[in-house]
Amino acid sequence: MTITAAHVPAIVALIAGILILLMPRLLNFIVAIYLIFVGLVGLGVFKMFHL
């Protein structure tokens, strides 16, 4: 299975959801990191690194 740019937000959301269930206090940090990451992916910042 190859991971494309379309799969990255889904994988990050799944990991964030699991971490929130395990440690609810991390919710603010996880949401902030997720939103920053999705924003960078949406802007195509990671394309220059060929990820």
Domain residue spans of the chain: 24-51
Stretch 26-50: mean pLDDT:
79
d(CA 26, CA 10): 19
pLDDT category, 50, cuts 50, 70, 90? low
- Residue 11, token pair as written in the block: 């994988």
Q: Is the pLDDT of residue 1 over 80?
A: no
Q: What pLDDT digit, counting tens, does each position of 13-29 carry?
A: 888 788 888 888 878 88
- Residue 49, token pair as written in the block: 């690194």
pLDDT the model gives residue 19: 81
Contacts of 3 (CB under 8 A, 6+ apart): 11
